[in-house]
Structure formats: structure tokens, C-alpha cells
């Protein structure tokens, strides 16, 4: 079954899905996939990344020297070689499904397969404490206007765009929704539970963010103050700027939380301020690992102490004192 809905409505549904909070102690396993074509590619490139909560744990790139699913979690790989071989074959089969889907989409719109095109797919499962399946997610988008979302619990599609509507029809004929439902409710949970065991020490830790503020002069003479939070885990963090106690949102620029590559994360928020007013701005950082929010401000560098003149003065003073003492001793001996 499929339902075609206005684009605005499906975007609202996707946004609500993204904002839904998992219960405390639950976890998610997400498969982010992209099939890319271009004039420079003889074959479509397939990228497959796996995230446990916010941690990048597995990756695959069809253009790698040896296309193979690889372990990239911040804990030691504890899987047997057969695991990686089997998972790689599953990914290649999935790649064939998406290549066929992309051909169908291009046919619907009478587009050339050698052009620049991208098919993006997200699959994910959420697991409750105790390892119980909670829900699954399957979303596909084809730039610029086609999207499909499978309502896994009801086994039907929400689509926007004519190409997506016909692709959903094709997939219904091939029982693809049943395949996805089995993948999310069974295999996804089967993959997730061992990862929770292997990475329990990392997943249960809390790293407190390290905070510092940088100062940069702009071409227009104004100042960019950037508040950095680095080396933290978990990813939920909030950084705000205030001026004299009032939140600054208009001139504030905030990046999304990003992995640092070592199992921790980083984020910054910047604000543009008039020169000379830096001390009226404060950065406030809220994080799960902090007993209370941290407040910092930019501190101008202290004037450096001229080391060489001091050392030279001390040396000359010591030489002069030695000369005076030597003269006094010589004079006393002469009188004697």
C-alpha cells in the first residue's frame, strides 16, 4: 500500500520523527547510505556508514582499493573474519537494489545515467533497555524533490514526487517493504546488541567538555568571538552567548556537533561583537557531564614580561656586585 502526500506534510513528519526522544537507556543503530553517479564514474559509487547512537562504528566505500565493510569503532574489533565477509556481501546485494531503483527514478524523469545524481537512504532501528525492538526507520530521497518513507509498523509508504510514487509501486510488487521490515526488526537488533556489549565502557562514560574562547579581528573591524567545546561525550550539548545577561541569537553562528575522530566530539558557537565590547559577552555551556553550566569569556592576553632585559640586568648586577666586593677586599688588605 502507498499514499502520496504533499511535500510539506512529509517533511513535517520527518521532522517530528527526528525530534522524537528515545527513552533513557535506549540505543539506535543507523545505516546512512548514498549511491552517487557522475561523468567521472564508470560505475555508481556506494557509501555505507553505520552509527551506534552517535559513534561511527562501520564503513564501506565501493571505490576503496578493496571494497569491504570495515570496523571503525573506538573499541577493538571483536568480530570474526566471516562476519565482515558476510556483511560485505549483504551490502553489495543492497547496492544492486539501489542501482536498480536509481535507474527507475532516472527513467521516470528521462534523465541520463551518466549525469550527477544522488540517491540517499537512511535505515535505523531503536532498541529499548533489555534489547527490545522499539521502532524502525526507512527513508529514501532523490534530489531534488522525491522522497519515500516506509511506515514500518503499518507496512505502507508515504511518498512525495511522481518518481517516488512509482518506485514505491515497484517495490511493493517485489515485496521490498517486507524485506525492510525484517531487516530492521530482526537483523538490525541482532547487529546492535553485540556492539553494546563490546563498547559498553565507552558508551557508559561521560567526558566533560574542555572550553576555550578564541578572538578574531574581521575585515570590517568587528570581532568574532568563538566559544569552543572539545573532547566531550555524550553528544548532547548546548552553547549560547549572552551580552550583559541577555541571550544573543541574531548574530550567533552555531555548528552541529561533530566527531573529533577519537571517540569524542566538538562544537563551537560564534558571535560578532563591536571592538572593545568583548568583555560584555559571556559563553554558557550546558552538558550532561557538568554539575552546573560553565560560563567563560574572552580574556585578553596578558602583556608578556621581557625576559631578556631582566636576565641581562641580573647578570650585570651580579658582575657589578662581584667587582665591588673584590675592590673592598683588595682595599682592606692594602691598608692592613
- Flag the least confident range among 156-160, 237-241, 244-248, 290-294: 244-248
Reduced to 3 states (helix: H, G, I; strand: E, B; else coil), residue 80 is: coil
User: What is the CA 18 to chain-centroid distance, rounded?
Assistant: 15
**Are the C-beta atoms of residues 283 and 239 closer than 8 Å to each other?**
yes
What 8-state DSSP symbol labels residue 148? E
Longest CA–CA span in the chain (Å) reads 122
- The confidence band for 1, taking pLDDT boundaries of 50, 70 and 90, is very low
Domains for the chain: give ranges and CATH numbers.
2-203 (3.30.500.10), 210-296 (2.60.40.10)
How high is the pLDDT of residue 309?
Answer: 64
pTM: 0.72
Q: Who wins on pLDDT, 7 or 289?
A: 289
Angle at the Cα of 263 from the Cα atoms of 135 and 187, rounded to 5 degrees:
30
> What value does the mean pLDDT take over residues 57-61?
96
Per the CB < 8 A criterion, the answer to whether 98 and 121 are in contact is yes
Question: Can you tell me the distance from the alpha carbon of 94 to that of 71, in angstroms, rounded to the nearest whole number?
Answer: 19
Please determine, for residue 49, whether its predicted confidence score (pLDDT) is greater than 90: yes
Per-residue pLDDT at 278 exceeds 50:
yes
pLDDT digits (tens, 9 = 90+) for 18-39: 334 456 678 999 999 999 998 8
Q: Which of 194, 184, 295 is nearest to 242 (CA)?
A: 295
Amino acid at each position: 500500500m502507498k499514499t502520496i502526500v504533499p511535500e510539506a506534510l512529509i517533511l513535517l513528519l520527518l521532522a517530528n520523527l527526528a525530534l522524537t526522544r528515545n527513552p533513557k537507556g535506549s540505543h539506535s543503530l543507523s545505516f546512512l547510505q548514498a549511491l552517487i553517479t557522475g561523468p567521472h564514474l564508470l560505475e555508481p559509487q556506494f557509501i555505507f556508514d553505520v552509527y551506534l547512537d552517535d559513534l561511527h562504528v562501520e564503513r564501506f566505500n565501493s571505490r576503496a582499493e578493496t571494497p569491504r565493510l570495515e570496523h571503525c569503532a573506538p573499541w577493538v574489533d571483536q568480530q570474526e573474519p566471516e562476519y565482515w565477509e558476510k556483511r560485505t556481501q549483504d551490502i553489495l546485494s543492497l547496492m544492486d537494489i539501489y542501482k536498480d531503483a536509481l535507474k527507475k527514478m532516472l527513467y521516470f524523469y528521462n534523465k541520463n545515467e551518466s549525469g550527477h545524481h544522488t540517491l540517499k537512504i537512511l535505515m535505523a532501528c531503536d532498541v529499548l533497555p533489555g534489547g527490545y525492538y522499539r521502532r524502525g526507520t526507512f527513508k529514501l530521497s532523490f534530489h531534488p524533490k522525491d522522497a519515500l518513507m516506509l511506515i514500518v509498523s503499518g507496512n505502507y509508504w508515504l511518498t512525495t514526487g511522481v518518481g517516488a510514487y512509482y518506485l514505491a509501486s515497484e517495490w511493493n510488487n517485489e515485496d521490498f517493504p517486507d524485506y525492510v521490515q525484517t531487516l530492521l526488526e530482526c537483523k538490525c537488533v541482532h547487529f546492535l546488541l553485540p556492539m553494546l556489549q563490546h563498547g559498553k565502557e565507552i558508551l557508559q562514560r561521560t567526558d566533560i567538555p574542555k572550553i576555550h574562547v578564541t578572538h578574531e579581528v574581521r575585515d570590517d573591524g568587528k570581532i568574532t568571538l568563538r566559544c569552543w567545546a572539545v573532547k566531550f561525550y555524550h553528544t548532547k550539548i548546548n552553547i549560547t552567548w549572552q551580552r550583559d545577561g541577555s541571550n544573543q541569537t541574531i548574530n550567533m553562528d552555531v555548528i552541529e556537533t561533530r566527531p573529533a575522530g577519537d571517540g569524542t566530539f566538538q562544537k563551537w558557537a560564534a558571535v560578532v561583537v563591536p571592538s572593545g565590547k568583548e568583555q560584555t559577552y559571556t559563553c554558557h555551556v550546558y552538558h550532561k557531564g557538568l554539575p552546573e553550566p560553565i560560563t567563560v569569556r574572552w580574556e585578553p592576553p596578558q602583556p608578556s614580561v621581557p625576559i631578556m632585559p631582566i636576565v641581562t640586568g641580573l647578570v650585570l648586577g651580579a658582575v657589578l656586585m662581584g667587582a665591588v666586593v673584590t675592590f673592598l677586599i683588595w682595599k682592606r688588605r692594602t691598608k692592613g
